[in-house]
């Protein structure tokens, strides 16, 4: 099994850099809940890569508990070349997500994850609900107060793209009944999103989307 390297990014305090409609960005801290919720969920994807690679590319491979980043070992996903390919995890119930770890492919083409977006929420409409820091590495995102949602959607916007993931780990706890989770007084009932900016540069943008918020705060590092 390939040896993976992990890097952690914390999401908490707000740093203002720029403004865009309906987008708000946060960056910095939280500890991870111990249980990997992804292992108990259901994974699907927009399509399956075509032969001769289809045997190893199924959506469930990203939640098999194995961070092996060599596609030929059968533990990674792959879609075919298509417009806006996506991978989705249904947690089968509403949870407060405190962190996500993504392992990118190592043996080939880690740059395919460039521009990927991670959506967290309770809606499947338009999938609404990093530089993954080098091939084969695992990147972890943590949130100070957690993000409520049932679905985790990884999407690569654009034409003629291919999405490959070697592991997706989701940590959190059951969402409290009748309670609305908030971060910095902003309503998170709609969704949240992380965008992987560039596979070749050590930059990452943490993005939260809100239905009725026109402010946008962005942090690069």
Domain boundaries, the chain: 6-209
Burial class (CB in 10 A: 0-12, 13-18, 19+), 197: middle
Residue 131 — pLDDT band, cuts 50, 70, 90? Answer: very low
pLDDT of residue 28: 28
Domain 6-209: assigned CATH number: 2.60.120.260
Q: Which of 5-9, 47-51, 65-69, 213-217 has the highest mean pLDDT?
A: 65-69
DSSP 113-169: GTT-EEEEES--GGGT--TTSSTT-EEEEEEEEEEEEEEEEEE--SSSB----SEEE
Q: What is the mean pLDDT of residues 98-116?
A: 86
pLDDT exceeds 70 at position 106: yes
Displacement of CA 87 from its chain's centroid (Å)? 9
pLDDT exceeds 90 at position 162: yes
pTM above 0.75, yes or no: no
**Gap between the Cα atoms of 167 and 121, Å rounded:** 20
**Residue 150 or residue 146, greater confidence:** 150
């Amino acid at each position: 099994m390939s040896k993976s390297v992990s890097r952690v990014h914390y999401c908490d305090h707000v740093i203002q850099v720029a403004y865009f409609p309906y987008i708000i960005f946060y960056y910095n801290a939280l500890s991870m809940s111990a249980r990997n919720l992804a292992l108990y969920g259901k994974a699907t994807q927009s399509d399956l890569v075509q032969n001769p690679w289809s045997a190893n590319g199924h959506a469930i491979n990203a939640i098999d508990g194995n961070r092996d980043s060599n596609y030929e070992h059968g533990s990674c996903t792959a879609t075919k070349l298509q417009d806006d390919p996506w991978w989705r995890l249904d947690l089968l119930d509403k949870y407060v997500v405190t962190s996500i770890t993504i392992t990118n492919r190592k043996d080939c083409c880690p740059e395919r994850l460039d521009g990927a977006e991670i959506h967290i929420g309770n809606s499947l409409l338009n999938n609404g609900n990093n530089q993954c820091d080098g091939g084969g590495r695992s990147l972890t995102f943590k949130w100070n107060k957690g993000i409520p949602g049932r679905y985790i959607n990884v999407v690569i916007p654009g034409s003629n793209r291919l999405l490959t993931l070697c592991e997706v780990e989701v940590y959190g706890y059951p969402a409290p009944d009748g309670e609305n989770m908030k971060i910095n007084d902003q309503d998170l009932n709609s969704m949240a999103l992380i965008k992987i900016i560039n596979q070749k540069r050590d930059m990452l943008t943490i993005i939260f989307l809100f239905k009725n918020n026109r402010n946008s705060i962005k942090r690069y590092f």
